[in-house]
Structure 1
Amino acid sequence: MTQFFKYLTIAGASTLLLLFSSCSKKQERHEAIETSLSVQNHAGSRHNISADEQSFFLRLSAPKAWTLSLKGDASSWLSLDVKQGEASPSYSVIVKVKQNTSKSERVALITLHSGAEDKTITLVQSAEGVSISPNSGLTSSQAADAQRIEIPALRNTKQDLFIVHRTQDGTVNYSLEYSLERYHPRWVAFVFDNTTAAERWKTRTNAWRWDPQVPSQYSTIDFFRNSGYSRGHMVASSDRYYSKDANEQTFYYTNMSPQRQEHNGGVWARLEDMVQKWGRRASFRETLYVVKGGTIDDAQIEPRRLGGKMVIPKYYYMALVVKKPNGEYHGLAFWTEHRNYAQTFPLRSLTISIDELERRTGIDFFPNLADDIETQVEAEQPENNWSGI
């Protein structure tokens, strides 16, 4: 998705992800879904957007067949790619907004109708020349870091921390957005380039500790013991061998996800190994941009919370963009269920486009790429651009 990206979620309890077609019959049965509308990155029902032309997601869930309607003349400048659907705990709708060239703000009311309930969200687009910073609330250093190519669009709520870890020489090691409400990273992001792809320190440090950038009251250190889940690195220890402190930082608990070991040490490890081979092959990349995560929204987590607080994802994903030595860009994404896969399971079967991954997660990946490049790489299928799959 290009330019400014925001999304909405209607919270609900379910075990079905509508856009993932291989769910079992058992998975297709879900509990009653409450119809409630909230803006994930702003409290309340009013949402401000800039005057720019832009696209973003609405994410909704509904207990019965649903429709979306626009009030007033909003249809002249705002469009929805889907306006109706069947009952679902999680569905993404693309909203496209034209540039506002007038000197007045304009307002759109989008109403969800499902059964006897209606829920309305208000979008207010600024007048021309009135700027809205998508990174308000960040320090100047954080705002600059948020413009790095690998960084997804930030949510910017009080419950979401944007964290950048640097090594002693100032190199950005990796970044993440951490949910204080869900005790889990929403995503982690890093790059392989000629500096970070080096293997000067190939010893696993096991430097387990709480993240010094997050208050200790949110510590998850004691959640994993005897839980039946492993401490699954999002940035793998083996992703970061270029220095000792780079490897040590991968052992922060904010970088951990509760994974079943058969997934963590199985298909996930196979994917990580493939990405590392791409990242460390200078003939393959000038820079490889990597985003990883586990799903943490209500419809995409397991019923149990580790320690009563830390969510357990139902799905894990990776989003990759490579800048080739010849200047070309290519994109690829992976999507896995949180389960055991046969060792011979073809990894190519887990590939999807980044556009599809955005629709499933509600996250805008690589918004800092030039719009034409972003559009191209996010629509791509793997084809012949990624060796080994």
Structure 2
Amino acid sequence: MKSNRIILILIFFGIGYILYYKDKAGPIGSFWQTVSGVFKSKESVSDKNPYKAPEPDVEATATKGDEKYDDIATATNKKNSPNNDKQETTKEESSIFDKIKDKVFNTDPETETSDNGEIPDFALPAINRGDEIIEHKNYTLRYEEDYEIPAWVVHKLRGEYTQGRASRAGNQFIPDKKVKNNSALSGDYSNTGFDRGHMVPAGDFKCCQDLMNETFYMSNISPQAPDFNRGIWENIEERVRGWAVRDEELYIVTGPVLRKGLPTIGRYNNVAVPEFFYKIALFYQPKSGKTPRAIAFLLPNEPLFGKRMNSYVVSIDEVEKATGLDFFAKLPNDIQTKLEAKSSWTDWTKIQ
């Protein structure tokens, strides 16, 4: 009888050990990813192509300046607006280990975050008079009315945000009423051959359903080639999430390279199709005493089969030259100059 108790204690200790280290770099993390992949529910299969569906419930029939625009845009997505108290979301079935964790440790993924998501000024690009700045709970963006997409989107990414059971199932892409003259509509992307590409990924906020819902505002979306969006771009997003788990807190800046004369799509609005996208990750925790570092990616908006993400690592200075933006303008000058001069893949992939 005594031996049975010891065995039971060892089993629970083993489970707890795995759950603690499952999201950290190392053999336990690799084991968790492998086993979780085997037990994923059939529901998750529908998430493999989330960028074209679901289409809006009712296609909008208005353009900007039309008095009916707001009402139609709201009706287009009324079922799944983040502000709708009656929103219905489909809970993804967790892996077998998540079920054990809930029963043994009685955790609630919706209450595990400890930060309000406020973005400090040093993480934002320089803001000029006349820029249209839109703030949501955990990301800030500059919207470009001439292109109907954002010039940049900044969000704080903590490792704890990436864990939880918030689901994108049932979410629709919704107009952003904070945009002065209305954002693009989801219907502008319908049957164009382009994905509705998130700048702030939905997967960065598995912790909290309300934060994930907000990533579906059309002000956070830009046209991306399907094989780019679901290929190397998604791989970079996943790698950045891994870095956030390791480093606890990062600041991420994402956006397109905009220029006059870009091709456009859109039944109701002229939405520019960028030729390039960038993503920048900043690690800056001055109170920790750790060395600041940053890394930038600049990629063409096209299928990049067989290409490695480190092939597209560039300096922040190069992204600034391509975009005309001034990133991290409020960092101390010496730190900003050093961080922007060079990106090191090795500095980000080695064990810290």
TM-score, with length taken from structure 2? 0.61
Q: Does 1:252 align with 2:213?
A: no
Given that residues 262 and 340 in structure 1 are in contact (C-alpha distance below 8 angstroms), is that contact kept between their aligned partners in structure 2?
A: yes
Which digits, 9 at most, give the CA deviation of each residue in 1:225-255, with x for residues without a partner?
1111111111111012221100000001111
**Structure 1: how far apart are the matches of 2:332 and 2:283?**
14
Q: Using the alignment, how far apart are the partners of 1:382 and 1:218 within structure 2?
A: 36
Change (3 A) 1:193 1:326: farther
- How many residues were matched structurally? 230
Counterpart selection for 1:149 from 122, 125, 129: 122
1:161 aligns with 2:128: no
Q: Could you tell me which residue of structure 2 aligns to residue 304 of structure 1?
A: 264
- Equivalent position amino acid for 1:347 in 2: M
Which of 339, 345, 357 is equivalent to 2:319? 357
1:330 and 2:330 are equivalent in the alignment: no
Structure 1 residues 169-226: Cα deviation after superposition (integer angstroms, max 9, x where no partner): xxxx11100011211100110112366x352333225243111312564432220111
**Cα distance change on mapping 1:147 and 1:326 into 2, 3 Å:** closer
Structure 1 gap ranges (5+): 1-144, 167-172
Structure 1 residues 238 and 194: alpha-carbon distance in aligned structure 2, compared to 1, 3 A threshold: closer
Aligned equivalents of 2:348, 2:307: Cα separation in 1: 18
| Contact map agreement 2:119 2:156 (CA 8 A) in 1 | no
Report the structure, 1 or 2, having the larger strand content: 1
What amino acid maps onto 1:340 in structure 2? P
- Which blocks of at least 5 consecutive residues in structure 2 are unaligned? 1-117
**1:304, CA displacement in angstroms?**
3.2
Q: Deviations over 1:80-131 (max 9, x none)?
A: xxxxxxxxxxxxxxxxxxxxxxxxxxxxxxxxxxxxxxxxxxxxxxxxxxxx
**Which residue is 2:167 aligned to?**
203
Aligned-partner Cα distance in 2 for 1:291–1:217: 23
Counterpart for residue 107 of structure 2: none
In structure 1, give the amino acid aligned to 2:164.
R
Q: Per-residue displacement from partner, 1:138-160 (whole Å, max 9, x unpaired)? A: xxxxxxx8852221112332xx4
SS at match of 1:187: strand
In 2, the alpha carbon distance for the partners of 1:210 and 1:353 equals 34
Q: Residues 361, 216 of structure 1: CA spacing in aligned structure 2 closer, same or farther, 3 A cutoff? A: closer
The AA in structure 2 aligned to 1:161 is E
- Matches of 2:227 and 2:301 in 1, distance apart? 9
State the secondary structure of the residue aligned to 1:149: helix
1:43 is matched with: none
CA distance in structure 2 between the partners assigned to 1:288 and 1:256 by the alignment: 21
Which letter does structure 2 place at the counterpart of 1:331?
A
Equivalent position of 1:367 in the other structure: 329
CA deviations over 1:308-365 (Å, ceiling 9, x no partner): 51111000001121136542101111000111011x3111110001111111111111
Contact 2:183–2:219 (CA under 8 A) maintained in structure 1: no
* Residue type of the alignment partner of 2:349: S
Aligned partners of 2:140 and 2:154 also within 8 Å: yes
Alpha-carbon distance between aligned partners in 2 of 1:208 and 1:192, rounded to the nearest angstrom: 22
Q: TM-score, normalised by structure 1?
A: 0.55
Letter in 2 for 1:310: V
Of Structure 1 and Structure 2, which has the larger fraction of its residues in helix?
Answer: 2
What amino acid sits opposite 1:335 in the alignment? L
Look up the SS of the partner of 2:239 in the other structure: helix
Which of residues 244, 248, 251 in structure 2 aligns to 1:289?
Answer: 251
Q: Are 2:329 and 2:336, in contact at CA under 8 Å, matched by a contact in 1?
A: yes
- After TM superposition, where is structure 1 displaced by more than 4 Å over at least 4 residues in a row? none
Provide closer, same or farther for how the CA distance between residues 182 and 226 of structure 1 changes in structure 2, counting only shifts above 3 A: same
Q: CA RMSD in A?
A: 2.3
* Structure 2 residue 244 is the aligned partner of structure 1 residue 263: no
CA contact 2:295–2:345 (8 Å) conserved in 1: no
* 1:380, distance to aligned residue in structure 2 (A): 2.2
2:79 aligns to what? none
Check conservation: 1:237, 1:250, Cα contact below 8 A.
Answer: yes
2:12 corresponding residue in structure 1: none
Equivalent AA in structure 2 for residue 328 of structure 1 = T
Structure 1 match to 2:157 = 192
The alignment-based identity, stated in percent, is 30
Name the SS for the 1:246 alignment partner: helix
CA distance, structure 2, for counterparts of residue 335 and residue 363 of structure 1: 14
